Amino acid sequence: MTGITARNVTARYNGSPVLAGVDLEVGRGEWLVVIGPNGAGKTTLVRALSGAVSTTGEVVLGGRRLSEMRRREVAALVAVVPQIPIVPEGVTVFDYVLLGRTPYIPYWRMEGPQDRRRVASVLERLDLAGLAGRPVSSVSGGERQRAVLARALAQDASILLLDEPTTALDLGHQQQVLELVDELRLESDLVVISTMHDLTFAAQFGDRIMLLVDGRVVTEGTPAEVLQAQVIANHFGATVEVIPGPDGPVVLPVRVKN
Ligand SMILES: Nc1ncnc2c1ncn2[C@@H]1O[C@H](COP(=O)(O)OP(=O)(O)OP(=O)(O)O)[C@@H](O)[C@H]1O
Ligand SMILES: [Mg+2]
């Protein structure tokens, strides 16, 4: 099975374009990080790739056109971790993660023991086993973010779309979650597309980085090609030094002294 391809994807809200002619191609086992300033269209792109917003252009998932697939078929192929997840009230962490198994549970049946085992193993890997019985609405912001990721992983999809999956996490959990995604990507040849504001993490985990500004792809390439101080100054209005690190460029914010 092939990965994900988008051609000329354009999305509008109230008539004004927020994505304009985006092309991308990500193969099995590859991780593309989408960066860009607030409002650039990153979340809209993630939503467009999973069919959550209507677009013109074409998205092809695993060789099939998204526009011709049923929701359930899309869910068996694509798991999404949204930037602002909607978490149902009163549902435990375990049952919330179990929702990830929905594409595999026939309409007329309950989940089976293998679904519960899959959930238990994902909870274990994300340090959430101790919270399994707690209402998801009562856990901390970072724990909730990990629960949302757990639900996506329990879905066993081959394409993972992660919209700022680590923003609410402490540094240790950011590393843990990104390493876990990376391990799963290598283990199962997953396609990973994530948005990220931390440019150093983007460089460490992305095979390629795409810079999106005002709904358009400004540049795409290896971390070293894209993450240049001048590019970051131009598009983020940020003053940084880019220094070589052990796993690619390190983007260091610096203060401008007068
Ligand atoms: N439902 C909506 N209705 C109208 N405009 C929207 C809607 N969702 C997003 N937009 C607008 O589309 C543009 C792109 O938004 P998007 O959320 O995709 O940006 P982003 O790159 O994810 O930003 P951030 O880094 O802040 O998450 C913004 O100008 C935003 O205000
Ligand atoms: Mg966003």
pTM more than 0.85 = yes
Q: Is the CB of 215 under 6 A from ligand 1?
A: no
Structure confidence at residue 105 (pLDDT): 78
Structure tokens at 69: 């697939």
DSSP secondary structure letters along 59-127: EEETTEEGGGS-HHHHHHHEEEE-SS----TT-BHHHHHHGGGGGGS-TTS---HHHHHHHHHHHHHTT
Closest protein CA for atom 1 of ligand 1: 13
Which ligand is closest to the CA of 45, given by its number?
Answer: 1
Ligand 1: residue of 12, 14, 42, 81 to mutate (most ligand atoms within 8 A of CB) is 42
- The average confidence (pLDDT) of the chain is 93
Structure confidence at residue 104 (pLDDT): 80
pLDDT exceeds 80 at position 107: no
Task: Give the whole-angstrom CA distance, residue 164 versus residue 36.
Answer: 12
Query: Tens of pLDDT along 121-154?
Result: 999 998 899 999 999 999 998 899 899 999 999 9
Neighbours of ion ligand 2 (CB under 5 A): 42-43, 83
Which ligand is closest to the CA of 44, given by its number?
Answer: 1
pLDDT (mean) for 239-245: 95
In sequence order, what E strands does 152-239 have?
A: 159-163, 191-195, 208-213, 216-221
- Can you tell me which atom of ligand 1 is nearest the CA of 40? 21
pLDDT (mean) for 173-190: 92
pLDDT exceeds 90 at position 194: yes
CA distances from 84 to 30, 96, 167, 168, 220 (A): 25, 15, 11, 11, 26
Of the candidates 90, 170, 88, the one whose C-alpha atom is nearest the C-alpha of residue 133 is: 90
Helices and strands (H, E) in the chain, number of each type: 9, 12
Cα angle at 3 between 11 and 70, to 5 degrees?
Answer: 60
Which ligand is closest to the CA of 47, given by its number?
Answer: 1
Task: Give the whole-angstrom CA distance, residue 113 versus residue 55.
Answer: 39
Closest protein CA for atom 7 of ligand 1: 13
Question: Among 64-73, 169-178, 225-234, which range has the highest average pLDDT?
Answer: 225-234
Closest protein CA for atom 13 of ligand 1: 39
Structural domains of the chain, ranges and CATH numbers in brackets: 4-253 (3.40.50.300)
- Can you tell me which atom of ligand 1 is nearest the CA of 212? 21
pLDDT (mean) for 36-54: 96
Q: How far is the CA of 236 from the centre of ligand 2 (A)?
A: 15
Structure confidence at residue 1 (pLDDT): 54
Structure confidence at residue 257 (pLDDT): 78
State the pLDDT confidence band at 93, using cuts at 50, 70 and 90: very high
pLDDT exceeds 90 at position 106: no
Q: How far is the CA of 41 from the centre of ligand 2 (A)?
A: 7
pLDDT exceeds 80 at position 258: no
State the pLDDT confidence band at 237, using cuts at 50, 70 and 90: very high
